[in-house]
Amino acid sequence: MSRFVDPQHADFRAFNDSISFDRRLAPYDIAQSRAHASMLAAQGIISDAERDELLQGLDQVERELNDDVFPFSDSDEDIHMAIERRLTELASPVGGKLHTARSRNDQVATDVAMFVRDAARRAHDAITGVGEVLIGLAESHLDWPMPGYTHLQRAQPVYLSHHLLAYVWMLLRDRARFVAVLDAASVLPLGAGALAGVNFDTDREMVARELGFTSIAENSIDAVSNRDFVLDYLAAAATCATHLSRLGAEIVLWSSQEFGFCELSDAWSSGSSIMPQKKNPDAAELLRAKAPRLAGHLLALYGVMHGLPLTYNKDLQEDKEHLLDAADTLELSLRAADGMLQSISFHRPRLEQAASDEFLAATDIADLLVRRGVPFREAHGVVAGLVRAAIDQSKTLSELTPDDLAEHSPDLDEEYYALLRDRTWLEKKVSAGGTSLSRVREQLECARAALR
Amino acid sequence: MSRFVDPQHADFRAFNDSISFDRRLAPYDIAQSRAHASMLAAQGIISDAERDELLQGLDQVERELNDDVFPFSDSDEDIHMAIERRLTELASPVGGKLHTARSRNDQVATDVAMFVRDAARRAHDAITGVGEVLIGLAESHLDWPMPGYTHLQRAQPVYLSHHLLAYVWMLLRDRARFVAVLDAASVLPLGAGALAGVNFDTDREMVARELGFTSIAENSIDAVSNRDFVLDYLAAAATCATHLSRLGAEIVLWSSQEFGFCELSDAWSSGSSIMPQKKNPDAAELLRAKAPRLAGHLLALYGVMHGLPLTYNKDLQEDKEHLLDAADTLELSLRAADGMLQSISFHRPRLEQAASDEFLAATDIADLLVRRGVPFREAHGVVAGLVRAAIDQSKTLSELTPDDLAEHSPDLDEEYYALLRDRTWLEKKVSAGGTSLSRVREQLECARAALR
Amino acid sequence: MSRFVDPQHADFRAFNDSISFDRRLAPYDIAQSRAHASMLAAQGIISDAERDELLQGLDQVERELNDDVFPFSDSDEDIHMAIERRLTELASPVGGKLHTARSRNDQVATDVAMFVRDAARRAHDAITGVGEVLIGLAESHLDWPMPGYTHLQRAQPVYLSHHLLAYVWMLLRDRARFVAVLDAASVLPLGAGALAGVNFDTDREMVARELGFTSIAENSIDAVSNRDFVLDYLAAAATCATHLSRLGAEIVLWSSQEFGFCELSDAWSSGSSIMPQKKNPDAAELLRAKAPRLAGHLLALYGVMHGLPLTYNKDLQEDKEHLLDAADTLELSLRAADGMLQSISFHRPRLEQAASDEFLAATDIADLLVRRGVPFREAHGVVAGLVRAAIDQSKTLSELTPDDLAEHSPDLDEEYYALLRDRTWLEKKVSAGGTSLSRVREQLECARAALR
Amino acid sequence: MSRFVDPQHADFRAFNDSISFDRRLAPYDIAQSRAHASMLAAQGIISDAERDELLQGLDQVERELNDDVFPFSDSDEDIHMAIERRLTELASPVGGKLHTARSRNDQVATDVAMFVRDAARRAHDAITGVGEVLIGLAESHLDWPMPGYTHLQRAQPVYLSHHLLAYVWMLLRDRARFVAVLDAASVLPLGAGALAGVNFDTDREMVARELGFTSIAENSIDAVSNRDFVLDYLAAAATCATHLSRLGAEIVLWSSQEFGFCELSDAWSSGSSIMPQKKNPDAAELLRAKAPRLAGHLLALYGVMHGLPLTYNKDLQEDKEHLLDAADTLELSLRAADGMLQSISFHRPRLEQAASDEFLAATDIADLLVRRGVPFREAHGVVAGLVRAAIDQSKTLSELTPDDLAEHSPDLDEEYYALLRDRTWLEKKVSAGGTSLSRVREQLECARAALR
């Protein structure tokens, strides 16, 4: 019996029903129903026998879902009603008691929180995995020099290990964000009822313990209106994907014939339908391309929540598709980053040659002057003049003559030539966090410890 | 034979393959292949017999897809390669000739453009439908007064017809936007090859004519790099959905017990899992909730295109899921708006009572003073004083005494009381586009003509 | 002297220069320069006398900026170069030594991190303030009943205090997010140099201590490429603004004549240029309107970071305007929420009348049947039938006769009428987090403690 | 006199007032006030003498604003009230008559529409300018070969002119979009009053003519609620900026030492604060970086409009800052693109060398086989095998021996070597829109005509 006279319109059903996507929440729905039934019995709201019937019914529902034989009905608008309907068929009339002291509003918030918790854990672990691959690469390419770039112009040489480790620090921040997401999603909504609490003396702490939540939502209105934990997940995912997009973009760049710094394995590359010679870094391109998708999901959910009056509104149903696709996309991206990096190869000669460009030593020459008492700003000007002179004469810096040098500064002598010859530019970057080998080794230790 | 030694990794396939979603482009892919084959034969690049074999093979592929018996293979990475593979099985070795003078790059751009053109046409027609429903409602509620709101405060009375027609003008602008999208997507990419044009003397105009494109892309690099028409579609869709979100939000508001202006039919409403009395306007809420999703898709595609070097990059594959979901969402939303409005009922007594609030006449009293020579800004001040006096004394405006009036202005006499008594406030809004009945009738005519 | 021959084009300057907005970073730039100079001297890189000259110069620069007499030059492209230029004028030639062992890349990242830290602290404190206002309102409206809404339909009655406290929990989560932002921005970039570390034996820990950072960036490349802390701030701000937008939207709604639940004070309201009676809740509307602006800033910065190769790129300059406007907008919004709420008044009669709608007791009637052994799902159906009968007969639920009741269930007797008469619906919501007074009192205690 | 007792709170003023940014609308506000006053007199609503007083007052206000001596008052909340206030000081009491038959709601919508129209025209012209620069570059680099890229891998050679012209087609679409924006903003809101029309027999067509609008808004509610034309402008601007971001990204890439294809002039480049050798393409980087900012503005306004009930709400005030910054940013970007391109220089030897990579001929070899009757798919496989063989043996394609060739296909003979030797790969791309010189010349003609 319902208060409605007419059945729902087919177009309304198509617009309104969520079962095509929320069926992925089934495992959480069953778990929370088990905990809810146990609590109802523990509090004497249903009998132990009724609880047992409910639990057996839920076991059967779970088996049917796992075996893909669950008899979905056309009238199932969402997974929650589908499971309750089926349970009532299996455990009639006791099945109808499961929804005592519960509403779909707190139920669905709980399912989503449980999904977010699992997704945060999965992201955490996958990030750790990619971090380990990067650390492995840093170790095996510890002393490979390459140009460091600012503005995509060669700036100062660094070790490839140092560059790769930069991504590990990004990933460590990402991982910390997912830990915070896990916390944010560990406050139990269940027990808030529709919005006001329920007419029964329930034990929400018991349910929280059973489901692994660390606390309960203290305000029933907030409990059913809140989707912060989804926003938190989406923001963490968008930031992580943005980091991966930078990695992807660099690999695309480095795979070009012009850079020639690295090559993806065949197993992570694509060909062309028309150009037989092509080997395309599709995996890296897609890694780059996925970040806006996650930002789009975040944005969309901000839009849904914007200006929404309390408490539950149907608009909140939009949370799920954004969340599910975001989790799938992020997890796939992390798996792709992992696999792609495991089989990437770098080309030492190309890296080394690019890193030996003498202009990369310009700062070092300026610092040589600084050590002789020239203020840095002035030293910078002197070297800029040398650079201009070299370019004008189509010379390298070491091809400038002592007379050329003398025109710019009285402080440039043989040590100038030695500096360009000895190429200790990298090893002079001795400051903490710098690219000298000893500092990179320290850093590796530190990153490895942090990742553990 | 391929230039690759190792097979693609399963994780790469999962990340890279697009067949799970681009199979929806199959009808377009087949249509363009037919046109391409015909053109190749007309230009003597293949023989007529080869063309006939290709066309027969494509007919067979089409039947298999329509009958859901197309034998997809695990190795099919996208619908284009799946169709070509199958065609080659059916029409070997001639099947292998179809890709002459064509690349996946121009092929996929063409498929997407064809999808956009159809989607723009569907949106156009669905918008027309909703516009007609609104015009019907405006006609049947022509002279129903209601409060007009600014800042959600009652401002001046209007007719419900006038309010509903406001949405028709929004929809007319939406429709014009989709006409522009149709134009934007009517420039044929096919024939651009991978990026540089092809080594054959093709006839792109012929292909364009056959497929209903109005012109050809004049630059092969632009042809394969361009997704403007998808951005245009997404922007048009986001704006239209935003209009629908305002309509949805108003229906949610008007369905509240506090407003009580309208009620959705049972066929377009939902109940509550726990509160038996509830009749929720879910359809209107979802109409409100979908706009950010479309804005999110637009945003994501802007993100993908941002800073992308020419020409084709794998990143462009991301266009499809955004487009497909946007089209589905918009079309479902328009269908929902249509059906929901067809069965909505308005409550004249509630509307009328709210519209008879005397404070809504404040501007009219000020204008009465203006007609007597008082500058408007001064008249505004006088009436503001009357309003304050009325509120302070808990009176309506007509309950103020002549003495009360005299304190504020010498120009307020019996006509003041007549103005409040006669309630001709609506009919005095005689300016073009105003809410007086004659103006609304003009407008209805005008809107009906524009919609046709 | 520079390596360039030609001067910069005026249009380039207009496009490139950041001094119009980054001058707000001056206090941070001076503070970090002080710490940097002290460290250089402590490490023997400059002499103590040089340090003192630099510090005196910086004092002078600070005074000039504070007194608005700093002589900006047309050639100042950003605040960092302006300060160094001025310092060199004041303390020539020692001024030129300040940039030893530092680059603008690590300098600007440090300034931005310092700004974020202060902004996070300000947000934290302002949120606490709004939370306290809300707690005060909850205390002073502890037992004011009002309808709780789902889908904007009256659902179950709650206390106004309970509803207001829902926002406190949102704000507490917001505050926690800003604490995390503060942590994220407390890793010192300075000392990373341009990207590779510097050629001097610096003491970055000393600088960190002096500036209140808790650790140093462990990788120089990451240090200059990273803007995660800005993204974190923007995400926290967007979420907080979204909460405020829900509050604003509810106040707009409740201020309507139809709801009539509250009224903003004159000091927080606007009039109309044309309608003298209008009192508009502009502050609440703007509170609603600001959230998308913050989401837009977040989104834009995600876009900037997307696919950006390491290390520093000029694109990163875009971080500042988004951040500055976001901080200004959020802080203004929080101040507005604070002030607006301090002077809001609620209307008990309107709230109470709306809360006494008998349909709000439908769940309670169902639960009455549950206590008599009827499964909830069945009880729900019985009450839905009663509701339909009442609507069909234009009766309230208590106007239904015992015969009416008997048609729907044998279990409905005098207690049914008592339940509707006694109105203990709110006080029956005894579950943890529910709306019964004892639970709200518990919650108040808990929220007050959390806020402290 | 106002209906308010208490003055507005300073914090409310800071939150609510718009004069800090809407003063830029002053010229439009004055122009529309002139037209409004003339119409009021023409319709006999005010006298001709009053009109003349108003026009003289407006002249004075305009002079004061132009000369920067307009006496702003602390109480001016927006430019509209500031001008009316000042006018009333100058032309008291007639100044108070200007607001007859007008509301700030239609007034502000009209100002914004006028701004959008001017901004659309400016964008149109600036785009034309950039297009002309690109056409000039295409002409002067007509036959410079370079590699065309897909997936940032060398794909097939193209002429630099062809590549540059791709951007012209993007810009032509952008320009068409701004023409549509101009149309969308040419529907006059003025005369709609607050929302319902006005109590006077106005002549809106006269005002439209005078201000250059092509028609009047047919529905007063829509007139004050509508901001579609701002959304249209922002979408057009975001798409245009996205095109510019691709151009910027390519110039950054091509300016790298690795590509070495081009160099920006000194006048459009920046140095480094620490690295004296650096010449950074900041202009190109910023061109890349601005697109997300415009997308962010669009997104934010979608958010503001989402779910907003009709008619005017204060939320709409948020339209202005997004619009103003978007217009400034786009115009600055176009000016930067124009200037930067005017002084860019390309390096023919680097481009030519990169274009002579023999692997770029792989498709041509496949097409050679196709002409001999081999199905394309099969020919593709043959050439892929050759490519693999060449890579395995570290040979170029022309270094493969006839025996090597014979292993892969019986159809490869001397013509194979001729094809690689003659380098007619570009000139063979004879299809319409292809890169052969004759086609590029056609295209240039076509683009030049379209731009005119």
Residues 6 or more apart in contact with residue A300 via CB below 8 angstroms: A318, A322, B292, B293, B295, B296
Does C193 touch chain D if contact means CB atoms closer than 8 Å?
Answer: yes
Task: Print pLDDT tens along chain C (452 aa).
Answer: 577 888 899 999 999 999 999 999 999 999 999 999 999 999 999 999 999 999 999 999 999 999 999 999 988 999 999 999 999 999 888 999 999 999 999 999 999 999 999 999 999 999 999 999 999 999 999 999 999 999 999 999 999 999 999 999 999 999 999 999 999 999 999 999 999 999 999 999 999 999 999 999 999 999 999 999 999 999 999 999 999 999 999 999 999 999 999 999 999 999 888 888 889 999 999 999 999 999 999 999 999 999 999 999 999 999 999 999 999 999 999 999 999 999 999 999 999 999 999 999 999 999 999 999 999 989 999 999 999 999 999 999 999 999 999 999 999 989 999 999 988 899 999 999 999 999 999 999 999 999 98
Residues C233/C326, Cβ–Cβ less than 8 Å: yes
Per-residue DSSP letter, A266: G
Provide the phi-psi class of D188: left if phi over 0, else alpha when psi is between -120 and 50, else beta.
Answer: beta
Phi then psi for residue C145, to 5 deg, are -75, 150
Provide the pLDDT for residue D93. Answer: 85
DSSP state of C275: -
Secondary structure letter of residue B271 according to DSSP: -
**Residues A36, A30: Cα–Cα separation, whole Å:** 10
CA distance D96 to D101: 12
| Residue C41 tokens, joined | 């001297």
Among chain D residues, the shortest Cα distance to B81 is held by D377
Q: What is the Cα–Cα distance from D433 to D64, expressed in whole angstroms?
A: 56
Query: Testing the interface with B: which of D84, D221, D374 to mutate, by most B Cβ within 10 A?
Result: D221
D75: annotated active-site residue? no
Weakly modelled stretches of chain B, pLDDT under 70? 1
Asked if C191's CB is within 8 angstroms of A433's CB, the reply is yes
Residue C450's contacts (CB-CB under 8 Å, 6 or more residues apart) are: C172
ipTM for the whole predicted complex goes beyond 0.90: yes
Contact D199 B430 (CB under 8 A): yes
Q: How long, in residues, is chain B? A: 452
Q: Does D221 touch chain A (CB under 8 A)?
A: no
Confidence of residue A141 (pLDDT cuts 50, 70, 90): very high
Which residue in C47, C140, C272, C343 is the catalytic one? C272
The predicted pLDDT at position C1 comes to 55
| DSSP conformational letter for C146 | E
Q: What is the mean pLDDT of residues D183-195?
A: 97
Under an 8 A CB cutoff, do B199 and D149 touch? no
Exposed, middle or buried, C142 (CB in 10 Å: 0-12/13-18/19+)? middle
pLDDT at A273: 83
Q: Chain C contacts of D267, Cβ < 8 Å?
A: 6-9, 12
Helix (H) or strand (E) run with residue B98 in it: none
The closest CB to that of C88, out of A180, A184, A377, belongs to A377
Locate A379 and state its tokens.
């030293």
Q: What is the pLDDT of residues C167-186, one digit of tens each?
A: 999 999 999 999 999 999 99
The first and second tokens of residue B264, run together, are 């959705």
Q: How many other β-carbons are positioned within 10 Å of the β-carbon of residue C357?
A: 15
CA dihedral sign, ordered C286, C291, C297, C299: negative
- Percentage of the residues of chain D whose pLDDT score is greater than 90: 93
The D residues from 265 to 284 touching C (CB cutoff 8 Å) are 265-280, 282-283
- Residue whose C-alpha is closest to residue D31's, from D277, D188, D207: D207
Do the Cβ atoms of A150 and A433 come closer than 8 Å? no
Residue A151 annotated as catalytic: yes
Q: Is B443 exposed, middle or buried (0-12, 13-18, 19+ CB in 10 A)?
A: buried
The whole-angstrom distance between C378's CA and the closest CA on chain D is: 37
Say if B196 is an interface residue toward chain C (CB within 8 Å): no
C314 and D12: CB-CB below 8 Å?
Answer: no
Inter-chain Cβ pairs, chain A and chain C, closer than 8 A: 400
Q: What is the DSSP letter of C147?
A: E
Yes or no: say if B224 and B319 are a contact pair by the CB < 8 Å rule. no
- Cα D285 to its chain centre, rounded Å, is 17
Residue from the list A158, A219, A295 with its beta carbon closest to the beta carbon of C443: A219
**What does the pLDDT look like over D47-65, one tens digit per residue?**
999 999 999 999 999 999 9
Taking a contact as any Cβ pair under 8 Å apart, which residues of chain B between 284 and 323 contact chain D? Answer: 288, 291-292, 295, 298-299, 302-303, 305-314
Tokens for B50, please give them: 């080869």
pLDDT of residue B1: 55
User: Percent of chain D beyond pLDDT 70?
Assistant: 100
pLDDT of A1 over the 60 cut: no
Partners of chain D (3+ Cβ pairs below 8 A): A, B, C
Q: Which residues pair with C150 in a beta bridge?
A: C153
Mutate one of A150, A244, A363, A451 to test the C interface: name it (highest C CB count within 10 A): A150
- Substitution target in D195, D224, D430 with the highest count of B β-carbons within 10 Å is D195
Residues 123-182 on B with a CB inside 8 Å of C are 147, 149-156
Q: Do B322 and A279 touch (CB under 8 A)?
A: no
Q: Is 80 exceeded by the pLDDT of residue A37? A: yes
Residue pairs spanning A and B at CB distance below 8 A: 222
Give the count of beta carbons closer than 10 Å to the beta carbon of residue B38.
Answer: 19
CB-based contact B170:B241 (threshold 8 Å): no
pLDDT at D363: 92
Q: Which residues in chain C have Cβ-Cβ distances shorter than 8 Å to B285?
A: 151
Secondary structure class of B202 (helix, strand, coil): coil
